[in-house]
Amino acid sequence: MTSIKIDDMADMIKEKEKELFELKKEYRERRTEGLRHAIEQKKEAEKLVRDEMKALGYDYGSTVRYWL
């Protein structure tokens, strides 16, 4: 067996768990990056529609249900 002390092993495990946590976080962020971008684009498009409806004199909140 190797001569690694138990305290050193515990420290190594903690460090590896921290690395694993960071990798999982990065994986989730990369995996959902496209979805987050699409949601942001949708929000921007909805704002443009609201602004245009307002400029045309429509109340967006009361007219949106007629468009569906």
Q: How many CA atoms lie within 13 A of 9 on its CB side?
A: 5
Structural domain spans, the chain: 1-31, 37-68
pLDDT at 67: 54
Residue 3's pLDDT band, with cuts at 50, 70 and 90, is: confident
pLDDT at 59: 75
Contact indicator for 36, 44 with CB cutoff of 8 Å? no
Average pLDDT over the chain reads 88
Is the pLDDT reported for residue 64 higher than 70? no
d(CA 13, CA 6): 10
- Identify residue 34 by its one-letter amino acid code: G
